[in-house]
């Protein structure tokens, strides 16, 4: 049914339609509305049988999800930012144990400086944890990805993160087609775990594994991700059959066929990029878009194919590999290694910095002319940056950077050092 609905509420409804049996979560912005919505549904009896477990931290949230999933219950949680970092040890355990937990990450920056706004630093920090990571472009896709995530995770017996841009999607009211229970039931069978703790037939899960077998267990985690590369497109096809929508898949292209310049990105910024591309196309610019839905597994082959006909590409990413440049860009570069393409990286939107169309118009034209730096930062205030660098050169006791920058930009009354 078509609804004008907040992204978080839509995701809560989608998760409820997936019939989770255990939901455990600790509140953190911008994820909170999702589990609040689910909490209400459990309390009101709309979602049953399901136990909503209030926990004392994110570490506990993932630990409870591990326990309930190991007991054979379909388990769900959600988090963001510092919450994801706080549960990191358990996040690795969930995938190491092969437990198909689904977790929403309402993408948010990581401090310090503390910042509640959107970027992709949080889930990308867990890049190598063994979970699958799927990125939603809009709230319809966020809904659809959750339904596919339970199916995908349970078929592989691996956990899945559904990543959606915090605030930009979680707090946006837009049109979403919420499926019926019948549709979701037809697509997602009851959880049939590969392994389950049962007091009647005791087994152990979580053995210590020494050097003689650790490599093999780890390789099998990699093998599951390779299987997912095959399975994700199949499940997207099947999804289309039941729900009538193209959603998920590994990658999606837009205006790519004759594009000389390709822009690669993940998440909600793809919408803004597509609008800019439409406007530039109207002026004769051959620009196209590659949206990456599946960040883990990373679809090397599909990315390579999508970029094989262009002359140059730009990775626009809401993340920063400090000391290197781009995180996504590094993976894209691996996909096109040997192709002989000029690749550029622009870091944008960190900590919720708006990514306006006007800035993208300017940026994409620079990419066409190849007049930009290999690694750049969209709308960076160089004056503020240089002022601080100069301050540090001049004064030994130059003080805290964040406070200095806030002061220099006239944003807050902060202590000024020099």
Give the interface segment with another protein, choosing from 112-120, 200-208, 317-325, 369-377 (CB under 8 A). 112-120
In eight-state DSSP terms, residue 243 is: H
Binders in 127-166 for another protein, by CB under 8 A: 138, 165
Cβ atoms of residues 26 and 83 within 8 Å:
yes
Tokens read off for 222: 């990699």
Report the relative pairing of strands 22-25 and 75-79 from DSSP bridges.
parallel
Q: Which of 76, 150, 167, 298 binds another protein (CB under 8 A)?
A: 167
Closest to another protein by CB, 63 vs 268, is 268
Q: Which of 357, 362, 374, 409 binds another protein (CB under 8 A)?
A: 357
- Smallest separation (angstroms) from another protein to the CB of 124: 19
In whole angstroms, give the CA distance from residue 303 to residue 308.
8
Residue 280 in the binding site for another protein (CB under 8 A): no
Residue 174 in the binding site for another protein (CB under 8 A): yes
HSE-CB for 148 with a 13 A CA cutoff: 34
- Smallest separation (angstroms) from another protein to the CB of 141: 12
Q: What angle separates helix 88-96 from helix 214-243, to the nearest 10 degrees?
A: 90
Report the relative pairing of strands 75-79 and 102-107 from DSSP bridges.
parallel
- Smallest separation (angstroms) from another protein to the CB of 170: 10
Q: What angle separates helix 300-307 from helix 328-335, to the nearest 10 degrees?
A: 70
Binders in 29-88 for another protein, by CB under 8 A: 30
Residue 226 in the binding site for another protein (CB under 8 A): no
Residue that the structure tokens 């963001």 belong to: 80
Torsion of CA 204, 210, 213, 217, to 10 degrees: 60
Q: Which of 246, 275, 370, 381 binds another protein (CB under 8 A)?
A: 275
- Smallest separation (angstroms) from another protein to the CB of 71: 38
| Number of amino acids touching another protein (CB under 8 A) | 27
Residue 96 in the binding site for another protein (CB under 8 A): no
Tokens read off for 126: 């867990």
Q: Which of 247, 268, 293, 345 binds another protein (CB under 8 A)?
A: 268
Q: Which residues, 6 or more positions from 189, have their beta carbon under 8 angstroms from its beta carbon?
A: none
Q: What residues make contact with another protein under the rule CB under 8 A? A: 4, 6, 30, 116-118, 138, 165, 167-168, 171-175, 268-272, 274-275, 352, 354-357
């Amino acid at each position: 049914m078509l609804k004008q609905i907040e992204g978080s509420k839509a995701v809560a409804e989608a998760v409820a339609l997936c019939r989770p049996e255990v939901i455990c979560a600790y509140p953190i912005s911008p994820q909170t509305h999702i589990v609040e919505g689910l909490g209400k549904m459990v309390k009101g009896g709309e979602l049953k049988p399901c136990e909503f477990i209030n926990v004392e931290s994110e570490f506990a949230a993932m630990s409870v999800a591990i326990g309930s999933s190991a007991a054979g219950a379909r388990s769900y949680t959600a988090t963001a930012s510092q919450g994801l970092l706080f549960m990191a040890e358990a996040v690795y355990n969930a995938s190491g144990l092969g437990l198909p937990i689904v977790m929403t990450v309402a993408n948010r920056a990581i401090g310090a400086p503390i910042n509640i706004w959107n970027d992709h630093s949080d889930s990308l920090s867990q890049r190598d944890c063994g979970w699958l990571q799927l990125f939603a472009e809009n709230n319809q896709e966020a809904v659809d990805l959750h339904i596919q995530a339970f199916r995908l995770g349970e078929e592989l017996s691996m956990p899945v993160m559904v990543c959606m841009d915090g605030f930009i999607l979680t707090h946006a009211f837009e049109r979403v087609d919420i499926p019926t229970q019948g549709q979701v039931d037809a697509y997602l069978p009851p959880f049939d775990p590969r392994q389950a703790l049962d007091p009647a037939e005791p087994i152990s899960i979580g053995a210590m594994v020494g050097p003689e077998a650790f490599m093999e267990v780890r390789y099998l985690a990699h093998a599951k991700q390779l299987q997912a590369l095959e399975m994700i497109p199949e499940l997207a096809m099947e999804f289309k059959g039941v729900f009538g929508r193209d959603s998920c898949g590994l990658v999606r292209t837009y205006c790519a066929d004759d594009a000389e310049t390709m822009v690669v990105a993940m998440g909600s910024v793809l919408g803004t990029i597509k609008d800019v591309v439409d406007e530039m196309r109207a002026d004769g610019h051959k620009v196209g878009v590659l949206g990456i839905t599946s960040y883990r597994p990373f679809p090397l082959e599909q990315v390579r194919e999508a970029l094989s006909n262009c002359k140059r590409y730009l990775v626009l990413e809401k993340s920063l590999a400090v000391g290197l440049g781009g995180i996504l860009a590094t993976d894209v570069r691996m996909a096109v290694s040997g192709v002989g393409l000029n690749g550029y990286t622009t870091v944008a939107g960190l900590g919720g910095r708006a990514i306006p169309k006007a800035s993208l118009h300017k940026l994409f034209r620079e990419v066409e002319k190849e007049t930009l730096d290999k690694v750049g930062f969209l709308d960076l205030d160089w004056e503020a940056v240089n002022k601080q660098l100069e301050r540090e050169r001049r004064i030994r006791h130059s003080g805290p950077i964040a406070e200095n920058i806030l002061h220099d930009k006239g944003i807050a009354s902060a202590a000024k050092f020099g």
